Amino acid sequence: MYSTRAIKWQHLFFVFLVVLLGTALELYYNQKIRQAQLEEKLESLNVLTAKVIAQAKEDLLIRYGGITQHYLNEPYLVRLIEALDREALYKALVEDYALMQKTNPSLQIMHFVDTQNVTLLRMHQSQQFGDNLSELRPIMAHVNRTKEATHAFEAGKNGLTYRITLPLITPDGRHLGVLEFGVEPRYFAERIAAFSSVRSQLLIRSDTLGIHPEGAHPHLQVGAFSVIHPDAFFEGVVDRIDWSVGKQEIAYEGRSYLIDTELALNNYRGEEVAKLLLAQDVSDFVRQSAERFRLMNFTSITLSIALMIMLYLVFTSYTRKIDRSYKEIARLSRNSQRLSVENVKLSQKAHVDPLTHCHNRTHFNDYIEATIQSGRGAVIFFDIDHFKQINDHYGHDQGDRVLRSIADTVRDHLREEDYFARWGGEEFVIVMAHGTAVQAKRKAEELRKVIEARPVVDGIALTCSFGVAQIKKGDTVHTLIERVDALLYRAKNEGRNRVCI
């Protein structure tokens, strides 16, 4: 009798120990899950800010590139620039400059420089001219030399700004110099804050201050960086930041913040000249997370105690049977998960184009049938101009990169409800299920201009031709595609890079 009870207690002690260890591991992994959620928010913050800044840069280049092109198409302004008539040029553009600053208060600089890098006119400081910037402003000399638009951060006499530096080349090919627009970094900080309520602080590399107007003044030093116009919040938290860690969580005045120290601002050579220190208040998330995990931990402990009491009452001979049951359940669960993953992969393979990640033609045929039955909507059919020449000249790998780039660009300018598919080869189709032909034409024009104005892909300038058609009652897939395809070929026959409706 004693021997049987001893064996029973030995088994129960072992089971209790396993339960206690499992509970401790669950508490540990609950904490790890919370940390992983914070890291995911940090990564999301980094991805979001990088995307916002990239879009802001593209917007600035398109905006000020368009303004520069407009000026070069005005013979009167071209004559003033050629004649180096700064006073008349200032009078001609002062209202434009005021309007540009009103539209974008962060626009600080509008600067004309001749082909020898000598200042012709600073719209922001019209009394300062005639200085040679060959050494002080390398981006200016670079654009005059290469005659290619360049945009990057660079410090100058007015401080660190984002420079959109554009060559002044007339339609007939004459090189007149450079027109540069300078936008304060706060433009990017405001764009970031508008998306995610993130606070930011500008840090400039101390060894790049150079002719920066604040360069001669003492500043708060953070490693290799100087803090210009410090924010009171960042002054309070700067000593709490571990600068060897790019992303981290800190506590300050009873609140929790996610800190990102890795957002670099580079010059045109790709060298880091400054960075934006980002801080996002996640106090509510941390509090709710802590409450949730306290509840989970309490539940785990309570269930563990209940389990141990239950196991105390269970005959030890059932232990092996229970273990076999759990193993069988785990095996079935793994098989079920594996089948689910395989089903998802098969579904994606059947409906998604593997190169561009758009819907494929099979999925499009299923989708358009339902859309045609509704009798509403419009279709945009487009392809890449001279794509065969790209494949023939640069190879199919480069052609694939072009297809992916075009697909990514178009996808970024569509709404969630718009349908986007690859028809085949270099041809794509967009369906605006609730749109009209007029709206679709407007969207096609927008996409055409965006593609034409975007930076070249590995040295290849791209354009696309578009056909736009309204879905009509009585349409079939064949009649609809035949109609919009004819419009696409009309656009190509009329010279490409155009929209036909």
pLDDT given for residue 2 in this prediction: 44
Q: Average pLDDT, stretch 56-73? A: 95
b/e string for 41-77 if b means 16 or more Cβ within 10 A?
Answer: bbeebbebbeebbeebbbebbebbbebbeebbeeeeb
Q: What value does the CA radius of gyration of the chain take, rounded to a whole number of Å?
A: 32
Q: What is the pLDDT of residues 222-277, one digit of tens each?
A: 777 888 777 788 888 888 888 888 788 888 888 988 888 888 889 988 888 888 88
CATH architecture designation of domain 361-500 = 2-Layer Sandwich (3.30)
Q: What would the mean pLDDT of 363-386 be, rounded to a whole number?
A: 93
Q: Coil, helix or strand for 47? A: helix
Place of tokens 């030399």: 145
Segment 342-357 shows an average pLDDT of 75
pLDDT value of residue 347: 56
Q: Within the chain, which residue ranges are assigned CATH 3.30.450.20? A: 11-314
Q: What average pLDDT does this structure show over 95-106? A: 95
- Global confidence as pTM: 0.52
The CATH 3.30.70.270 portion of the chain extends over 361-500
Chain centre distance of CA 229: 28
Could you confirm whether domain 11-314 is CATH 3.30.450.20?
yes
Contact criterion met (CB below 8 Å) for 471 and 375? yes
d(CA 212, CA 11): 76
Per-residue pLDDT of 389-438, as tens digits, reads 999 998 999 999 999 999 999 999 999 999 999 999 999 999 999 899 99
Query: What CA–CA distance (Å, rounded) separates 182 from 140?
Result: 12
* For residues 284-295, average pLDDT: 79
Task: Tell me how far apart the alpha carbons of residues 218 and 209 are, in angstroms, rounded to a whole number.
Answer: 12
Q: What is the pLDDT of residue 193?
A: 79
Alpha carbon distances (Å) from 250 to 23, 254, 277: 29, 10, 14
pLDDT in tens, 2-48: 445 555 566 667 767 776 777 777 667 767 777 777 777 777 777 88
| DSSP secondary structure, 271-285, as one string | -EEEEEEEEEE-HHH
pLDDT at 489: 96
Give residue 306's pLDDT band: very low, low, confident or very high (50, 70, 90): confident
Who wins on pLDDT, 144 or 474?
144
Mean pLDDT of 303-331: 69
In angstroms, how far apart are the furthest CA atoms of the chain? 115
Please state the rounded mean pLDDT for residues 351-368.
Answer: 94
